[in-house]
Amino acid sequence: MKALSSHHRWNTPAIYLLNVTLYTRFHETLALFPAHVPVFVNAKVQERYGAALGSRQVGVIDAERPITLKPLMEALSSGAALVALDTDQRGFQAVARYATERRIPVIPVYGHSLVIDEEHPLPFDDPRSALDTLQHFLFQSYMGPRTVASVNLFDELVQSARYYGEDRVIVKDMMGSARYRDVLLQSYVLGTALRRMIRRHRVGVMLPNSVGHVVVLFAMFYAGLTPVMLNYSSGVQTVVDACETAGVDVILTSREFIEKGQLQELEQALTARYKLHYMEDVRKEIGLGAKLAGLWAFRRRRPAHPGSNEIILFTSGSEYRPRGVVLSHGNIYANVQQTRSVIDFGTEDRMLNAMPMFHSFGLTAGALLPLIAGIQVYLYPSPLHYKRIPEICGQERSTILFGTSSFLEKYGQNATPEQFAHLRYAVAGAERLKPEVEQAWLQKFGLQIMQGYGATETSPIMSLDTPINHKQGSVGRFLPGLRYRLEPVDGIEQGGLLHVQGPNVMKGYLVHGEGFVEQTGWYNTGDVVDVDEDGFVTIVGRLKRFAKIAGEMISLNLVEQLAARAYGDPAFAAVSIPDPARGERIVLVTTHRGLTLAPMRDLVDRMGYSRMHVPAEIRVIDEFPLLGSGKTDYVTLKAMVEKGRA
């Protein structure tokens, strides 16, 4: 594309806005603008491209210091200016706000395709539309030339390593650290060995948060294999059901992990059915041929082998067995870039993640996002160590911490202000943020917890509350690229049933006994939400028959089925009510008096389900409220339980 040379264009006040990413062709983009057009950058762009800027008139913008915007204002009095920022959400919004208030056009520039999009400037008259347009522009810039269907996460890791520096330490755990170079080399070698060792494309993964787990995932991505992420905390039967659902007969795990996690019972049950490969043995048995082939591929930075480019996680199913959620690499990559489009995550940050990678929040936000975005991440194997995690946060000078509301509550109770002194962001997901937790963090640490909302089926984040765009009680605004519609629900006046479409929405489900069921059209979240005039989302309630306990989804239908079996009678109904400690708790309602929970506990243990399936209490009612169809009226029953009338 030739440089634009219209004298009138460059002498008319306008801001040409460039989001500098790893796919930006910076030198070529700069050449689109005449030498007399001033360029304003942030410190990151100046450091990386100072030589390319050469003799041009250059100003440095720092959104934390509004005075640095003054030279830009002066330049705009006589003509156009190019503003090029890297990972600077606050800077982008400050520039856009200044321009739109003064009705100065803000024109997107796409550095990966060398397109100056003068047909779609930011709108002047609607602040919400202006912000939506800005964040959509940032999202498209981060996606670069990639389409969702073309993404392989291993290839993206290679690109990120090249951009941020292969000698950059990118991941740590209790045993040590690894540079991008180390992760790549080990992934090439292990991936080569796995291709020769495993013939099935879906492989179970049962490992803790660690550098080794990251290497296993990227080795599988390179080898064209599909990781099936197994929730080892969900009980023997649930893990077996998950393996059956995904058609898994090979599982990668670790002897040390099984020993330290006291998972011998689960190991025994899985060994009887499947082939377990222990990573300690796999690494020892890698032959010279695989090592040399892996080293050769590493030196050439060979692209990943062809494969389905998928990863499978699990969520509760209506038939009491877990459903496999099939996410493409593109779904996850899009969600990473959507998130980066609304909040600043930069190379100066240090993330601490104890959320397990079998959980979509722990996988996408806590592991893959930092490696793709050049953020150093410390992976800790358990979120339950409430004293140790704040200690590590202080030692590592962590700036970003992930957790559920319940976990953040415990961390806050055990942490000193000094241990959290470097935190910029604490992000809550997987369950509703409790107001008392939010207030406690504000009082003790002066830090506003950000609340995210999502689902495994959306990779997982749909909306995110941020310090720049915050509304008390909301879960923020929908991420760019995600479309939504609200369907009216009988009996609910405010809000509607949320349906979404977007690049982060799953490919489909794996259903036990049925196989793959493609997701087409709008995805029904099962949640009732309200969206205000500024785009902020408030969760009204859930329609699905599940309880969310400490971030885990527990089927209330399954609880009823277990109760009927434990007590030899079907006259039970399970409802969930708010719980200050764990988000929700299950109440089992019956017409029978004098029952205890002991038979329920015994059955749950015998069948290999987790203790979360045991209700918190039993309540007695004279008769169940019924709908006109004769089915139990759960809405009325839940209200009775909450009001103490059952």
CATH H superfamily, domain 546-642: ANL, C-terminal domain (3.30.300.30)
Give span(s): CATH 3.40.1010.10, the chain.
Answer: 7-143
Q: How far is CA 538 from CA 473, 487, 535, 553, 564, in A?
A: 7, 15, 10, 20, 36
**Which pLDDT tens digit goes with each residue over 486-520?**
998 765 678 889 999 999 999 999 999 899 999 99
Q: What is the pLDDT of residue 629?
A: 40
- Helix H or strand E segment including 554: strand 552-555
Query: Per CATH, the architecture of 149-540 is what?
Result: 3-Layer(aba) Sandwich (3.40)
* Contact call for residues 313 and 325 (beta carbons, < 8 A): yes
| Interacting residues of 638 by C-beta distance below 8 A, sequence separation 6+ | 575, 576, 577
> Residue 319: what pLDDT?
52
Pairing state between β 583-590 and 617-620 = parallel
Hey, what are 348's tokens?
A: 């100066």
Q: Which two tokens stand for residue 638?
A: 């839940």
For 212-263, the pLDDT digits (tens) are: 999 999 999 999 999 999 999 888 998 999 999 999 999 999 999 999 999 9
- The predicted pLDDT at position 113 comes to 96
Tabulate helix, strand, coil % of the chain (nearest 5): 40, 25, 40
Q: Which among 448, 458, 545 is positioned nearest to 501, based on CA atoms?
A: 458
Check residue 631 and give its pLDDT.
59
pLDDT at position 102: 87
Residue 83 and residue 40 in contact, taking contact as beta carbons nearer than 8 Å: yes
b/e 550-581 (16+ beta carbons within 10 angstroms → b)? bbbbbbbebbbbbbeebbeeeebbbbbeebee
- Angle, vertex CA 422, rays to CA 420 and CA 426, nearest 5: 65
List, by residue range, all CATH 3.40.50.12780 domains of the chain.
149-540
Q: What is the pLDDT of residue 569?
A: 79
Backbone φ and ψ for 250, nearest 5 degrees, come out as -130, 135
The pLDDT, as a whole number, for residue 628 is: 43
Domain with CATH 3.30.300.30 in the chain: 546-642
pLDDT along the chain (646 residues), means of 10: 61 94 95 94 94 92 89 92 91 86 92 94 82 92 93 98 97 97 98 94 97 98 98 89 95 96 95 96 95 97 97 75 94 97 90 94 95 97 94 97 89 96 91 85 94 94 89 92 90 83 97 94 92 90 75 79 86 89 91 92 90 92 70 80 81
**Which DSSP helix (H) or strand (E) runs through 259?**
helix 255-260
Check residue 610 and give its pLDDT. Answer: 87
Topology (CATH level 3) of domain 7-143:
Cobalt-precorrin-4 Transmethylase; domain 1 (3.40.1010)
Non-local (6+) Cβ contacts of 324 within 8 A are 228, 242, 245, 246, 312, 313, 314, 509, 510, 511
**Is 191 exposed, middle or buried (CB count within 10 Å of its CB: 0-12, 13-18, 19+)?**
buried
At residue 551's C-alpha, the angle toward residues 201 and 488, to 5°, is: 95
Contact by Cβ (8 Å): 70, 97: no
Query: Are residues 379 and 352 in contact, defined by beta-carbon separation less than 8 angstroms?
Result: no
Query: What's the distance, Cα to Cα, between the start and end of the chain in Å?
Result: 72
Q: What's the sign of the alpha-carbon dihedral 38, 39, 40, 46?
A: negative
The pLDDT value given to residue 491: 55
CA distance 103 to 569: 70
